[in-house]
Every structure is written in C-alpha cells, then in structure tokens.
Amino acid sequence: MEFLLVQTLNGISYGLLLFMLSSGLTLVFSLMGVLNFAHASFYMLGAYFAYQVSTTIGFWPALAIAPVLVGAIGMLVERWGLRTVHRYGHVAELLFTFGLAYLIEEAVHLVWGRSSVEYRVPPDLDGPLFTIFTSQYPIYRGFMMLVSVAMLVSIWLVLTRTRIGLVIQAALTHPQTVEALGHNVPRVFMLVFGGGAALAGLAGVIGGNAFVTEPGMAAAVGPIIFVIVVVGGMGSLAGAFIASLLIGCMQTFAVSLDWSLAGITIAQAAPVLPYLLMVLLLIFRPKGLMGTREG
Amino acid sequence: MTYQPLNLGRWILWGTTALVFIAAPQVFSSSFALTMMTQMGTMIIFALSYNMLLGQGGMLSFGHAVYSGLGAYITVHALNLVGKGALSIALPLLPLIGGLAGLAFGVLFGYVTTRRAGTTFALISLGVGEMVFACVLMFPGFFGGEAGVSTNRVVGQPFLGISFGPAIQVYYLVAAWCLACMAAMFALTQTPLGRMANAVRDNPERAEFVGYNTQHVRFLQLVLSSFFAGVSGALSCVNFEIVSSENVSAIRSGGVLLATFIGGVPFFFGPIVGAVVYIFFVVALSGFTKAWLLYLGLFFLMMVLYAPGGIASLILMQLPVIRARRFGELAWPYCLAAVAALVAMCGLIGIVEMVYRLSDVSGGTQMNLAGLGFDARSAPPWIAFGALLGAGLAALRYTTRLVDACWDAIQTDLLAKQP
C-alpha cells in the first residue's frame, strides 16, 4: 500500500513533467505541422541555463530567467530558420530541427563539457514534505507537481479565455481566414514556437536538478516525448495529457518492480516498455488514444 | 520487344566508377587512406539503401541503423561459427547472410512502420529504433552488452593466397560488393516497383486510384532497402571485426540521414557523394578537432537552409550553364563568394576552437592553430577572429547577391532561347 501510494505520486510528478514537454510539442505540431525535433534540446538548454544562473544569483531568479531565455532562442529559431525552410515543405522543417538538435548538443559540449554539471535542488526545497507510513516524500517532488499544474492551468486559461488564445485556436484550423481578418499569423507562429520552447525550458529548470543535468539528457527524453505524442494521437492535447501520465506511471512502476519473466526482470525491460506500448497501439488503434486523423 | 540502343553514356559512367574503385588504392596507398576508403564503400551502400526510403519512397526514417546493425550482429555470429568450424561459408559471401538478416528484420518491423506515411512514419521508425537499441542492451547473452561481440575475419585456409587478413584485400571485397549493390539499387529504380515507389511518394491518393496499395508498396521498398542495409552492416562487421550496440544506435541512424541529405536526396548518385563527404568529416576531421560534430551539424543546417537538393543538385545546376558556354561569367562572382566564405569560416573555426580550449582547461589555454600560437584567454585573438567572422559574413552577403544577379541574368537568357 505504501509502495503503491509513493510510486503513484512519483509517477504523476514525472508524468506532469513529461506533459510540460509534450504539450509544447503538440501545440507546435498542430499549429504549424512542424514536428520539433529540437524540443528536448530546449529542455536541456533550460536545465543548463538554470544551472548557470543559479550558481551566480540563485535558483528563484533562474526559475524565471531560464525559460525566458530559452523562449527567446526558440523565437529566433522560428524567425530566422524555420520560416526560411518553410517553403521547402514539412520534411525540410523536420530536418532543420533535427540538425538543430545536433548543433545544440554540440554547443552544450562546447560550453559546459561532456560530463554532468552539479545542478542541485535549492536548500529551501530540500527535505521531506510529509511522511506516508514510513517513507518520506521530498518537498521538491511536490514543488515539481505544483509548478506543472500551475503551468497547465495558465496555458488552459490563455488558450480559452484570452484574445490571443482565441486567435491561436482559430489559426489551428483556419489560418487563411485568421490572416484575412487582419491577424499576423506568422507572428502567432513565432509566439507559439517560442512559447513551446519556453515551456520545455521551464521543464528543464525543474527537471534538471530532480534528475541529472548532462549533455545526454536531450537524447534520453526526446524519444519518450515523441512516443507520447504518437500514443496520445498526433495533435491532441488531451491525448498527450493521458499518455504522459500513463507513461510516467508506467516508467516509475517498472523500474521499481523486480518480478521476472523468462529471466528478465521488469526493471530491466523498463526502457523498452514505452516503445512496445507504441507499437501495440499502432497495430490495434492506429489513430492513437485521442487522435482524430489517420494519416 | 522494343529496340533499345546501347546506352553508351551509362556504360562509360559505370565503367569509370569501376576503374576508380580499382585504381583508388594505387593512388592513395597509405593505410589511413585505405581504412577511410573501405569505410566509404560500406557507407555508400548504407546511404544508397537509405535513399531508397527517403529519396525514392518519401519515407523519412530515423531508425535505419536497426537493419544494418542487426544484419551485422547476425554476421558476427555467423563468422564466429565459421571460425569454430560449425558452419561452412566463404567470407566473401557473408554479406549475403547480413543482407538476408536485414531483410528478415525489415519484414518484421516494416509491417508496423509502413502502416503510416509522412511524419508519423518518421516518429514510429524512431520509436522502433530506440526499442531495438534498448533490447540490444537487455540481452547481453546474444548482443554482448556494452562491449559488443568481437570476431576474427581470418578463418579457414587462404584461397588463391587471399586470406582477407590485409586491409587491401578487405578494401577490394568491399569495393566489389559496393559496385554490385550500386548496380542492383540502380536497376531497382527502373523496375515497376521503383516507379510505383516514386508515385506513392509524390501522390499517394492517385497511386491508390490507379489500383496500388500504398502501404504494400512502402513495405516492399523498405524490405528491399533493409536487405542492402544488412549487406553494409555485414561489410562493416568484416572490416572492424567487432559489432556493438553503437551499430544499432540513433547516432548511426542520424549519421546516414545526414550523409544522404548532404549528398542530395533527389538524385540516385547523391548519397554516393554524401557518403564520401560524411566519412571524410567523421574519419579525417575528427582526427584534427574535437568540434567536428559541430562543423558537421552546421554544414548540414546550411544545406537544409540553402541547398535542399544537396551537393548533387549544386553540381547539376551548373551543367546547363556550362553547356551554354556561359560559365566564364559566373567564375569571377563564384571566386569572390568562395573567398568571403573562407574568411568567415576562418573566423568561426578560430572562435569555436578557442571556446573548446577554454571549456577544457586541463591542457592549458595556450593553443596552436595552423602554425599560429596564441593564448585563448587573451583578448587579441578573440578580436581578430571576431573581425574575420564579421567581415566574412558581410562580404558573403554582398557576394551572394552578385552571384544571384549574374545567375538570374543567365537563366533568363537561357529561358528566352528555348523554343
């Protein structure tokens, strides 16, 4: 019972972090048709920027500064890169972000070296939050959940309750009409791309010290968020939410179980599970969980 | 039967290619050049097989190393069995085993991946690639874990004095297979399947109206492509005598995508150029600088932004101009642009190398670049390289406009002359 409760809480906090990543990816994909391969790289940049800022002025300023920086980089990338390749089609855009992911990883090697950096949980948030039966639940996990939920609620409010949110929603389905009504759709694209990058950056700030900040972190989390987007259904935010929680819980439970099957424990098989889920889903429900399009 | 005249140009082209393959080790005879050329041969097969998907079938795959890597694993076990005497097969025929293994895995995974096209195909191929990579680490008994499986390619008695021990014999083995695979893959583009793959790439809806199942066409194309990928994996196994998890990793899959795109996706010979350039970057440049991956990534991004047809398209674009005897007008602007690009590159390389030196100070900050010694911590080199970069970029902006103007003038003239 205790095990179940603690693992569920851990799974949900990891799942929420994954959703912060996959929501930006999904929004950008459904708005611009661009699958941003460099999305996980923005997550990594967020973690490294936060590390750099927190060593000089502290964690709390980093929580605000790092996502803004990453968002600004995202906007620059959209304005000076993606918009140029847009005329060559979606494959060229995908390849551009793929090359960008290479470049960002190498730039991180260049500036911060090849081994992990010491990006620690701030002392204010270090320690137990509450005790379930005998095990203590860390404050930082609770803080992660709080930030993610606050972020989700504010995205939802922006998308449904503000003017710019309505323009974004309209541009999702009818970009020409929105443009005809006098809105600058390319600028909306730039804002959304930057916003998605900033979300990934924020996830990096709070995920970087909960896990490890190293140059391989983008390559480790990137495929997982793509799996989430496919499993949830391409372009569906609700689907991405369900799939994030599902995969978050699945991963956390799998690594801590030691039931074995044919000589392999579930913990050993954990890295394969998300991909296996994706393959099975594609065979039996090609649209994904909440997807609407089949193609 | 229709009368088909002998296509002389094509025979000359293939004949020259074969001659180049035969003569290359005589011209570049150092052992470094030989290992590089052997790797180029395997990479050419791999990149061409990848282009069967991306260029001819319109399938952007992020997991192509799965087929070459698994083919290599099967080959390494077959070679070890031959070494123990449990299996009897001549070494030159081993790539066939690798190819068949690749084909079998192509049938298995292709059934899942080719159900969808476009972006979703790209994502699923990535997922399958990651799945196989995780599985390879999960079963250390067969795949040898992190260290991989090693082997010895010198097995059995030498035949006609050929033992495949010396590197030159391996080079000729790779060259022979490379030529055969190139010819086979070119022949495949001329078959009805090759043509249908193009149709499915360009307009799947119409292809379905003509009566073809697009999923089936994609599946067949992927299966054939994974055969050739398996052959290249087997050859690299024979060459390196070791197969590890790196062979199926996302790094390999990304590498073949980079090589193919840099060479030129729309043309059959594009990936050949790309493979040569890519191996040059990987093998030769990595010996000089730790930042080679950064340069490769930048080069790739430049190609995506400004030359989406790759190097091959840049070469082919010049042909009509040369044929019209107008290349002389372009020569001067090209030279100027090249000089500007060179200046910008010098500045960039200097700055990148200095940043690298500062990020790893264990070797000291004193550095030596092209005969110039300086301290990476002092200001003058930063100012000098920054100025070079800025001046180069500004000049590049001006000279590319010059090239554009000249190019446009020639193109309008050529168009006007057309009947």
B242, B150 in Cβ contact below 8 A?
Answer: yes
Note the pLDDT of residue B104: 95
Contact B123 A226 (CB under 8 A): yes
The answer to whether the CB of A20 falls within 8 A of the CB of A203 is yes
Domain locations in chain A? 17-215
Q: What is the mean pLDDT of each run of 10 residues along chain A (295 residues)?
A: 80 90 87 86 93 87 91 92 84 89 88 82 75 76 88 87 88 85 88 92 89 86 88 84 90 75 69 85 77 56
The answer to whether the Cβ–Cβ distance between A95 and B304 falls below 8 Å is yes
Q: Which of B121, B123, B262, B313 would best serve as a mutation to test chain A binding (most A beta carbons within 10 A)?
A: B123
Alpha helices in A174-263 (DSSP H): 175-180, 185-208, 217-232, 237-256
Chain B closest CA to A91's CA: distance in Å? 8
Question: How big is the A-B interface in CB pairs under 8 Å?
Answer: 114
> Which pair of structure tokens corresponds to residue B284?
């030769």
How many angstroms separate the Cα of B343 from the Cα of each of A180, B350, B386?
A: 45, 11, 11
Q: Which of B298, B355, B359 sits opposite A103 (nearest CB)?
A: B298
Residue of chain A nearest B121, judged by CA positions: A295
ipTM: 0.85
Task: Say yes or no: A81 contacts chain B, CB-CB below 8 A.
Answer: yes
pLDDT at B335 over 60: yes
d(CA A235, CA A27): 7
pLDDT digits (tens, 9 = 90+) for B377-389: 777 888 888 888 8
Q: What is the pLDDT of residue A215?
A: 87
- Chain B residues with CB-CB distance to A276 below 8 A: 131
Q: Which residues of A59-84 are buried (b: 16+ CB within 10 A; e: fewer)?
A: beebbebbbebbbebbbebbbebbee
Residue A264 is predicted with a pLDDT of 67
* Max Cα distance, chain A (Å): 64
Cα(A145)–Cα(A203) distance, rounded to whole angstroms? 11
User: Residue A174 is encoded by which pair of tokens?
Assistant: 């009818």
| A264 interfaces chain B, CB cutoff of 8 Å | yes
DSSP for residue B159:
B
pLDDT band of residue B1 (cuts 50, 70, 90) is: very low
Q: Which residue does chain B place closest to A270, by CA atoms?
A: B134
Among A272, A139, A91, CA closest to B137: A272
Specify which of B80-94, B128-142, B207-221, B314-328 reaches the highest per-range mean pLDDT. Answer: B207-221
pLDDT at A212: 83
Report the distance separating Cα B238 and Cα B419, nearest Å.
55
CB contact under 8 A, B138 and A264: yes
* Maximum average pLDDT range among A243-257, B52-66, B353-367: B52-66
- Chain A CB contacts of B261 under 8 Å are 95
Residue A276: which H helix or E strand, with range?
helix A273-284
In whole angstroms, give the CA distance from residue A142 to residue A146. 6
Q: Span B44-71, mean pLDDT?
A: 92
Can you tell me the distance from the alpha carbon of B286 to that of A231, in angstroms, rounded to the nearest whole number? 39
Q: Give me the domains of chain B, ranges plus CATH numbers.
A: 8-315 (1.10.3470), 324-417 (no CATH)
Residues of chain A positioned with their CB less than 8 A from the CB of B119: 33, 35, 90, 94, 234
| Residue contact A269–B123, C-beta within 8 A | no
Q: Least CA distance to A87: which residue of chain B?
A: B305
